[in-house]
Each structure stands twice: as structure tokens, then as C-alpha cells.
Amino acid sequence: MRVEPIPVAVLTPPEQMLGEAMQQVGNKGGPAALLPALDRILAKYPDYSDGYVMRLGSLCDGSDRTAILSNVNMALKYVSNSRTGKDSPGSLLSMRAKVEHTNGDDSAAMEDLDKAIHANLADAATFVNSGAVAPEKNASACTWTLPEMDALVQRFPNDYRAYLFRGLYYGFFVQWNEDSLKPAIDNLRKAGEMNTSSALPHFFSAHILNRAFSIKRLGMSDAQRQDLNRMMLNELTTALTLDPSLLPALSDRAEAYFELKRFQQAIPDYDKILTLNPTDAGAYNDRALAKMQLGSTYDAISDFDKAIENKKRELQQSSSYENRADAYMKTQQWDLAIRDLTTAISLQTGGVVLLSNIKQFRALYPEYKTASDESVARKLNQTFYPNMKYEDFSKGFLHNNEPWASTVIPDLYLKRSDAYLKAGNWHSAGLEFRRAVDGFPSYADAIDRWREISSQRDSHLSIDMKTFDDGRSDSAKLWIKQSHSSNDIASPYSVEQYELNCGARQIRTVSFANYDASGNVIGSREGGKWGSVVPDTLGETLLNGMCRSN
């Protein structure tokens, strides 16, 4: 298993102390059980922002608003030290706003809510800080409720932001609560009418529509999805007319254009995003996908390069490597495609190996059969989870875990198998195919055993990888399928089994059958004589592929 280095997060001293405390507490007592440990950690490391956030998990269940406000302020003061919160302090600002509202200082609450939504415009509705699925009448000291949103509207009837906040509040719940969609849109429209120069009501309307139908759109017809995208496009275009540099609106509009297959219109939005933020890895990746749809594959590869360059390597984050591999396949750069697929596989398998087991690993990598279970477990532990104790890693991997079910990882092995086939390395292609089948048996029946090695306008040649056998150089066997039709059109085809003697450069037909377009046999025969492989024929193609490793 070839694995490129994975960046490892080095735990800081307070993180180490917190990790030890969490292990000692386990699942007992909830957030309150960690309070004594957090008090000790913060006394020793007062600039540990995430510690204050953890302590708020317990304080917010109580009524000590002074303690809550103090912890929020300290977390915000040192938020630049936070591993997770430095890019989006909106949740903390919203908590402070809630306490200010409860304390009667609604003017301060409005200002902090404004800062909270601007901290992350792309996900502004999360300021609600709720775990509920519908608007709440009562909640914890740090969570906003619908009556409190109503109170802000009553307190500031002429401030468009009060309606904006209430629209976003309803909008938070639209994924789970259909009744929240209409009041969300109505409040945002009211905000837009009150402040016709603000782009935010229009942007948020589009964003809430997307949020409301994020799951439902999977069951929509193409026409319904297109209507939804057009509604969103109208709002986003209005927002961008008012504020041409509104990054999240540009991003959402580019995505809507992409969904509508209007790739030529999506690209200028990606261009503008990258002008405003030249390190946006997601924009580079998505612009590359649009370029591939338009046939500009080499330009797409350059954008995938930039996407990978600007995104740190993380387990289970492999989309740009996979996409660039697809582009390399289109340009017949097989070795580069194999390299990227190898990286993608390492990132994906490394992300789930903690949940899989030794039996599944051995099915994926039979070449490690001479290594002991402990050696394999220690290697994986050191490679992917160096901060985890071996005892904790091996407990699940060697003893407790069930096989991990996945469709993503076997598909990556199949892609790498196809790349090896096109590169002429059929032995390696066979190994990759068996990894997909043997490592994920629940997915095996869904795998197409016939893998294409060449195609022209009306001709396709495929190999049956399930019965592919190159174990003996003097008797290598394979089945091939030949069809003569355009893609996805049923047509007559033939299936043939060949046997090759690599050293003697000889070939013979073992079995042959012709089928009509409905899959009915219309002719067959068995047996065939050995003969020399003729240059520039199908026989030489089969010989080169089958005998490369022999």
C-alpha cells in the first residue's frame, strides 16, 4: 500500500490535558463532568480559546449569564489561537448577543447579531445555535428563540436587520420544518423592501431556498430542479447587481449555473471569485469541472493543480485528486492518473481504517500476508493516527470492528484498474479490480466485470476482469467482449476466451459465442489450435497486456 505523507496536527499542551480529561470522564456526566478539568486547564493556559468554548457547553445549560458572557469574551479575545473557531466566530458573537438581549441591552444585541452573520455570510443562519428541528419558544441561555426574534422586530420596527435576523432564524429550520419556509422568505422580502440598497436579503433568500430543498431536490424532476435554480438565480443576480463583490453570492450563482449546465456563464463567476480570493481551492476545483464540461481539459488540469496547491491534505478530502485523475484519463496521461488515484485512495482509506478491521485490510492488500496483524496495525496507526495510542487503535482494528461498507473507495480502485488497463499494465489492473471486489463484498454484485480497453465510434472492446488469469506465463487466460454500436445502444456482440503462451508468443481461442442484441446465443464453438501472434492485431494487444508482468 503506497501512502503519501499525511499532515499531522500536533496537539498543544492544553489539548493534551483536555484529551486526557475526556478519556477519564468518558461518556459519564455530560459537559458538566469536564468543568473541573477545564477550570484547571484555563487557569494554566488562559489563552486557550477552545477551552472557553468547551466550558460554555456546560454554562449554557445554566443561568449564570455573567459567567457565560465572561467565557464568550475570553473565547473571542483569543479566537486567533483556536483550531476550529478562528475562521468563524459567529456562534460566539450570537451567544453574546443572546445574553445582551436577556440583560435588556437590545442595541448591543443587534450589533453583535450583525457581526455574527457577517462572520460567515455563507452559513449565516447557524447563528441560531439550536439543535432543534423547528422554531423554539424556550431554549438554553445561549440559544435564540422565536419569541426573542419577535421581540427584536417589535423593539426595532424600522431597522431592516430585525426582519433579516428573523428571516434567517426561520431559515435555519427549513430543512426539517416546511412551515418555516414561507415566514423565512416573507421576512427577508420585508427586509429587502426596507433597505433596497442591501444585497443581503436577496442573497439570503436564495440561500434559504437552497437549504430548504437540499434533500428534497433529489426527488425532484429535472424541470422542478431547473425552476428552483432559476428562482435562486434571480435572487442572486439581484444581490450581485447591488454588490458585485459579494463572494458567497458569486459562489452560489456559479453553482446554480453549473446545475443548469450553463457552464459558460459559470466560469466568469469563478473568475471573479478567484480575483477576490486567489487561494480559494474550491473555486479552482469547480471552475476546472466547468472547463472539463466545455472540453477545455488541459485548462482544467491547471485549475485542479491550483486547487490541490491551495488546500492542505486531509483524510477523506480527495475530490480534486479524483477530478484531476479523470482529466488525465481524458488526455491519456495514464501514469499521472494512477498517481492521483493512489493519493485519493490513501486519503480515503486512511480516513476509514480506524473503523475497518484487519480482515478487510488483508482482503484489500493480500501482498501483506507475511506481515503479522500487529505489524500491520502499528504501521497504519503510525501513518494515519500518530496521535492515537496503539492500544486504542488496535482494540477496534484487530478485535471489535466490522468491515467498513463503502462505494467511494471501491470505485477508486476500479478507476485505478481502468487506468492500468489503458496504460497496458493488465496485471496491476487485475490486482486493483480484486481489491474492489474482495475488500467490499457487499458492493461486488454492483461492479461491472467488463472493463473497456479500447473504443472507437462504433466499436468497443472489453475484458472480463472477474475471470482474468495471468498466473501462469504458459497458460494465461482471459475473456473479451466485442460489440459494434454507439454507447448505450443494445447491439449484437461476441464473447471469446483466449489462452496465451507468453514465452512462445502463441495464442489460441478456447471458446467463442455470438449473441444478438437481446443477449440470446446465436452461435458458439469450443477449442482452437495454437498459432503465432501476428503483429498489429488483437492477438498482439492481448499478448502485450497479459504478458507484461511475465
d(CA 196, CA 359): 63
- Once rounded to an integer, what is the mean pLDDT over residues 276-304? 98
Q: Which single residue is written with the C-alpha cell 471486489?
A: 437
> What pLDDT digit, counting tens, does each position of 414-447 carry?
999 999 999 999 999 999 999 999 999 999 999 9
> What pLDDT digit, counting tens, does each position of 234-260 carry?
999 999 999 999 999 999 999 999 989
Q: Tell me the pLDDT band of 491, cut-offs 50, 70 and 90.
A: confident
d(CA 338, CA 322): 10
- Once rounded to an integer, what is the mean pLDDT over residues 44-63? 93
Predicted local confidence at residue 87, as pLDDT = 67
Taking alpha carbons only, the member of 39, 66, 36 closest to residue 52 is 39
The burial class, CB within 10 Å (0-12 / 13-18 / 19+), for 208 is: buried
Task: Specify whether the CB–CB gap between 443 and 410 falls below 8 A.
Answer: yes
Q: Tell me the pLDDT band of 26, cut-offs 50, 70 and 90.
A: confident
> What pLDDT digit, counting tens, does each position of 82-115 carry?
887 776 799 999 999 999 999 999 999 999 999 9
Integer angstrom CA distances of residue 500 from 129, 238, 540: 67, 67, 10
Predicted local confidence at residue 62, as pLDDT = 92
Taking alpha carbons only, the member of 441, 445, 450 closest to residue 468 is 450
Taking alpha carbons only, the member of 537, 396, 550 closest to residue 473 is 550
Q: Tell me the pLDDT band of 2, cut-offs 50, 70 and 90.
A: low
Task: Specify whether the CB–CB gap between 243 and 201 falls below 8 A.
Answer: no
* pTM: predicted TM-score of the whole model, two decimal places: 0.88
- Once rounded to an integer, what is the mean pLDDT over residues 216-234? 89
Task: Specify whether the CB–CB gap between 142 and 56 falls below 8 A.
Answer: yes
Q: What value does the mean pLDDT of the chain take?
A: 93
The burial class, CB within 10 Å (0-12 / 13-18 / 19+), for 180 is: buried
- Once rounded to an integer, what is the mean pLDDT over residues 276-282? 97
- Once rounded to an integer, what is the mean pLDDT over residues 377-389? 89
- 37 three-state secondary structure: helix
**Number of H helices and number of E strands within the chain?**
23, 7
Q: Tell me the pLDDT band of 29, cut-offs 50, 70 and 90.
A: low
Q: With helix as H, strand as E and coil as C, how does 106-135 read?
A: HHHHHHHHHHHHHHCHHHHHHHHCCCCCCC
- Domains of the chain are 315-446 (no CATH), 448-452+459-550 (2.40.128.710)
Predicted confidence (pLDDT) at residue 487 exceeds the cutoff of 70: no
Strand (E) or helix (H) holding 423: helix 408-423
- Once rounded to an integer, what is the mean pLDDT over residues 392-403? 91
Predicted confidence (pLDDT) at residue 211 exceeds the cutoff of 90: yes
